[in-house]
Structure 1
């Protein structure tokens, strides 16, 4: 931009208007080994550029469907306000929580992966296992040291965030989520939900079930995956299909999803800013939200912690 106007050289972004979008009630930047203060100080509201930003507030919840009557519209309006109140750090009312222990399904005390496996077993048809090929790079020792310290069986055992498991069991009719961007022009983006239509030898066929490209079918092959940030003394390379069963998912992975029905299970309280707000804001209507909360003795309760770093909002109020 200096060629257009020499004054642009010393101006932020060369005097080009840049639009930044986001919700400060959601999960903030992840700081490895960072505490509350480290995360809050890394927020963009603490940047020196924030003083030249102009804030525009979006006030309508576009995820919620439109009410068919005045009463339903008023109910949706109250629900939208309740979601915002949660994001601002208020407690939850008991209306969306389930207190009867028999209302919990069998696998609520298991991990997300175990829950997905349980659901797959209940679906008709035979499961087809797809095994990954695991290797390592950037290991400082010799090949002998690597084989002795980290045998292939150990690499197969590793389950790293953002990567498919070594033993990926799939079945026709299973709902899966794409874990990496393959082709954004065709809607094959990280987080896209699909239903598996064919299990082939070296790939699977999936049909997109949401978004602009709903109904389109694509073949998903094995591809080389590698975690972006781990504390392992080597770089894990896993050749596997970038798919994850998505009947259940973590709160972090649910960001960006719009779901008619959300069952939120909290065996432990949320531990970071915005997690609870993200979880309840995925649903498109208040009737589709159910919350299961366990207390310290694993008994059902309607109380849980809502972790919110309120200092993040100070600069927004001033703006």
Structure 2
């Protein structure tokens, strides 16, 4: 039987399989709805948004319902700008509701941090406080910048850890390898799934592990931890979530190699597998429920489902604030929403 007869979950409004440098057709062709197995599957439909099921009054419940319907329109690609508007909108443009956009607030980094992380200096060591909020953005480059700004606000001395990079499986000789790929070039490469060459940390910085280190001790990919001491060759950390809360571990440098890479060699980076998580990409946030989300869009989303995923992470409409930059750098309430509607052709209505 397909999948052994078990029930699996999925939402085709969310981000589809990631195909590096793939076209829209490549992404659609990689979905299970195109597979021959799909014809043997029985589709079970869900009709209740469980994240928005904590209303305290009838008026609040009605607001949650309207927000859930709006998010579904975003996911289905049915939300269009008002035709009576005097402005001219491009294809795939949508207008953000006034409840989630403040035209008087500039999209300064400090404004986003202050709204998403209020009273951060006094609460930055609280696990519950950190697990309930995040700044989401489409690209890793912006994530790295936002995280570095937030780390700078944490009191204490900063420790910098540099990686040791080397190239392997190169077709030429050893001398050609050293000339073709000098250390400075290898250090400048930033690939999703690898920690950066220069890792700046402080005591009290929260992060997620990027690798499975010891599953019996709870050191798995995605485990949330906080740095308690910065040592010379490693860091001492404390688990702040899950069944192993309070346990302390030492995280050393280790050799990491990305599984998918378009370079003509294998990059081996020896670095601590840590990812600071005050800000994260929209793709990384899938599956999480957050009470407060600051969505920062210096550039529009670039693939199917990213905007829907970002909007649907919150547990209440009051926990969502959107910061969008226009082409000239000013704040705006118009952005792109990409939906590949051919994904829904083989789904029951």
Whether TM-score is above 0.5 comes out as yes
Match of 2:6 in 1: 18
Query: Shift in Å at residue 212 of structure 1?
Result: 4.4
1:269-288 alignment runs, 5 A limit: 269-288=300-319
SS at match of 2:331: coil
- Please state if 1:76 is matched with 2:64: yes
Q: Identify which range, 307-316 or 234-243, moves more after superposition.
A: 307-316
Q: Aligned pair in 2 of structure 1 residues 242, 227: CA closer, same or farther (>3 Å)?
A: same
Check the 8 A contact 2:107/2:324 in 1, yes or no: no
Query: Shift in Å at residue 186 of structure 1?
Result: 4.1
SS at match of 1:249: strand
**Number of equivalenced pairs:** 306
Measured in 2, the distance between the counterparts of 1:192 and 1:80 equals 30
| TM-score normalised according to structure 1 size | 0.88
Check the 8 A contact 2:18/2:27 in 1, yes or no: yes
Measured in 1, the distance between the counterparts of 2:250 and 2:53 equals 33
Match of 2:27 in 1: 39
Check the 8 A contact 1:107/1:118 in 2, yes or no: no
Check the 8 A contact 1:101/1:299 in 2, yes or no: no
Query: Shift in Å at residue 192 of structure 1?
Result: 2.8
SS at match of 2:284: coil
Check the 8 A contact 2:109/2:146 in 1, yes or no: no
Measured in 1, the distance between the counterparts of 2:219 and 2:59 equals 39
- Please state if 1:304 is matched with 2:335: yes
| TM-score normalised according to structure 2 size | 0.81
Check the 8 A contact 2:107/2:331 in 1, yes or no: no
Q: Aligned pair in 2 of structure 1 residues 275, 185: CA closer, same or farther (>3 Å)?
A: farther
Listed as ranges, the gaps of 5+ residues in structure 1 are 1-11
Aligned-residue CA RMSD in angstroms?
Answer: 2.3
Listed as ranges, the gaps of 5+ residues in structure 2 are 80-93, 113-136
Deviations 1:112-148 (A, max 9, x none): 2122111111110001111212122111111111111
Measured in 2, the distance between the counterparts of 1:274 and 1:309 equals 9
Query: Shift in Å at residue 47 of structure 1?
Result: 1.0
